C-alpha cells in the first residue's frame, strides 16, 4: 500500500453536542440555519445544527451512499468495527427518518464506487473484498430492491473514481490493484450495453484522488498517490469527446484523501488531505485559467466530507485531524467539528459540531436541502439542518 494509505487508526469516539445560544429562535427542518441575535453587536449570526437521525442496521466505514430518484439513500458495503468487509445494504427514508435493510450485494466490498445511472439504477464497481482488489461490478434496481451482476471492469481496482458523463457513460479512472500497484488506466461503462471498454490512460497512475465533472463536460482528475507511493499535486483533464487526458495546472500542495467540490460559479473547491503540506489548507481550481489558487480552512482534516448546499456554501464535516507520528506514519484522531465555506467572501467559518466524531463517513444532500451524515465506524447517523 502507498504512504497515503499507511495510517494508524486511533479509535476514540468523542461525543460533542452543539449548544444553542440563549435566545436562539426555532428552525424548521430543511432550512439549513439556526439563528441567534447578538444584541450587543446588533447583528444576527447564522449557524447550522446537527440532529441525531437513528442508526443504520450495522456500523460502517468506507461504504457508499447514493441519493435515489425516490429521495431515499442507498447505503452499501464498507467494513464494520471488526474490519469485516460487508455485502449488506440498506435504505434511508427521509420521510420516516429510518434505515431498513434492502437486498445484499453479490460480493462484499469496501473502497468501491457507486454511481446513479440515467435509468435510475446504481452501478457498484470494484473495491476490495477484504482479501483482494475486485474487477467485478453490479447494478442495484430500487424497484426490486436487488443487486445483479453486470460485466466486469477491464482490470481490478479499488480507491478509484467513477464519474457520470453528460453522454450517460461512466468514467472509471485510476485506483490501485493490491497485486500490481497504482493504476493509470481508465475505462468507460456503457449502461445500454452493460459493458466496460478501455479509454485513454491518465498521464500518471493515481489512487485516492478526486474526479470532478466540470460545466464544460470535462473531468478534473487531481492529486492522489502515485506509483512510487508519493502524494501528488498534479492534475489532468479528461475530455469525453476526444477520449483523452491532458495535463492542467498543478495544485499548490500535494493531496490525497481530500475532497473536491464543484461550486455554483464553476470553480472547484479543494479541501484538506492527509499529506503534511495539505493539513488545514484549501484551494480553488479555475477551469477558465487551468490554475489552482490557495485559500484557508479553520481545521486540519482528511477523510472528511464536503457538500455543496442549496445556498451555494459548502459544508465540510468530520474526518481526521492528522499529525505526523513515528516511523513516518500519519496518525489521525476522528473529529466532530464542521465548517462552512462561503464563495461570496472566500472564507471558512465554523458551524455546529456533529453529535459524534466520524472518520470516512458519507454525506448526502437530500431533496429537502438537509445533509445526511452516516457511519464512520459508527452505526449512528445525523442530519445537518
149-186 pLDDT tens trace: 999 999 999 999 999 999 999 999 999 999 999 999 99
pLDDT at 291 over 60: yes
Predicted pLDDT at 32? 31
87-116 pLDDT tens trace: 999 999 999 999 999 999 999 999 999 999
pLDDT band at 326 (very low <50, low <70, confident <90, very high): low
Model confidence, pTM: 0.87
Predicted pLDDT at 324? 57
pLDDT at 25 over 80: no
Angstrom distance (rounded) from CA 77 to CA 89: 6
30-52 pLDDT tens trace: 223 332 222 233 333 345 899 99
- The cell 451512499 sits on which residue? 65
CA distances from 74 to 1, 60, 269, 372 (A): 29, 13, 26, 12
Contact by Cβ (8 Å): 71, 367: yes
344-376 pLDDT tens trace: 999 999 999 999 999 999 999 999 999 999 999
Amino acid at each position: 500500500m502507498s504512504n497515503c494509505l499507511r495510517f494508524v487508526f486511533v479509535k476514540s469516539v468523542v461525543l460533542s453536542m452543539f449548544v444553542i445560544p440563549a435566545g436562539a429562535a426555532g428552525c424548521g427542518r430543511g432550512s439549513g440555519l439556526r439563528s441567534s441575535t447578538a444584541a450587543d453587536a446588533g447583528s444576527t449570526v447564522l449557524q447550522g445544527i446537527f440532529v441525531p437521525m437513528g442508526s443504520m442496521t450495522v456500523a460502517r466505514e468506507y461504504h457508499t451512499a447514493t441519493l435515489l430518484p425516490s429521495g431515499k439513500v442507498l447505503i452499501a458495503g464498507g467494513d464494520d468495527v471488526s474490519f469485516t468487509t460487508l455485502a449488506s445494504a440498506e435504505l434511508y427514508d427521509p420521510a420516516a427518518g429510518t434505515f431498513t435493510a434492502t437486498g445484499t450485494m453479490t460480493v462484499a466490498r469496501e473502497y468501491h464506487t457507486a454511481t446513479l445511472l440515467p435509468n435510475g439504477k446504481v452501478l457498484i464497481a470494484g473495491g476490495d473484498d477484504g482479501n483482494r482488489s475486485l474487477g467485478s461490478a453490479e447494478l442495484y434496481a430500487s424497484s426490486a430492491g436487488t443487486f445483479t451482476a453486470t460485466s466486469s471492469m477491464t482490470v481490478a481496482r479499488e480507491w478509484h473514481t467513477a464519474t457520470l458523463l453528460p453522454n450517460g457513460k461512466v468514467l472509471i479512472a485510476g485506483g490501485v490493484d493490491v497485486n500490481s500497484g497504482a493504476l493509470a488506466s481508465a475505462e468507460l461503462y456503457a449502461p445500454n450495453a452493460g459493458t466496460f471498454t478501455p479509454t485513454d490512460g491518465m498521464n500518471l497512475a493515481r489512487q485516492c484522488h478526486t474526479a470532478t465533472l466540470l460545466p464544460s463536460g470535462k473531468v478534473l482528475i487531481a492529486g492522489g498517490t502515485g506509483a512510487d507511493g508519493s502524494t501528488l499535486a498534479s492534475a489532468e483533464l479528461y475530455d469525453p469527446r476526444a477520449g483523452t487526458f491532458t495535463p492542467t495546472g498543478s495544485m499548490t500542495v500535494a493531496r490525497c484523501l481530500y475532497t473536491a467540490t464543484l461550486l455554483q460559479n464553476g470553480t472547484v473547491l479543494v479541501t484538506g488531505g492527509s499529506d503534511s503540506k495539505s493539513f488545514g489548507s484549501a484551494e480553488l481550481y479555475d477551469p477558465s485559467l487551468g490554475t489552482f489558487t490557495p485559500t484557508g480552512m479553520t481545521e486540519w482534516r482528511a477523510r472528511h466530507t464536503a457538500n455543496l448546499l442549496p445556498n451555494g456554501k459548502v459544508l465540510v464535516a468530520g474526518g481526521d485531524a492528522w499529525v505526523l507520528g513515528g516511523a513516518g506514519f500519519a496518525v489521525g484522531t476522528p473529529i466532530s467539528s464542521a465548517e462552512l465555506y462561503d464563495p461570496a467572501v472566500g472564507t471558512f467559518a465554523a458551524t455546529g459540531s456533529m453529535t459524534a466524531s466520524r472518520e470516512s463517513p458519507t454525506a448526502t444532500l437530500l431533496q429537502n436541502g438537509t445533509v445526511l451524515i452516516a457511519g464512520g465506524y459508527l452505526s449512528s447517523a445525523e442530519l445537518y439542518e
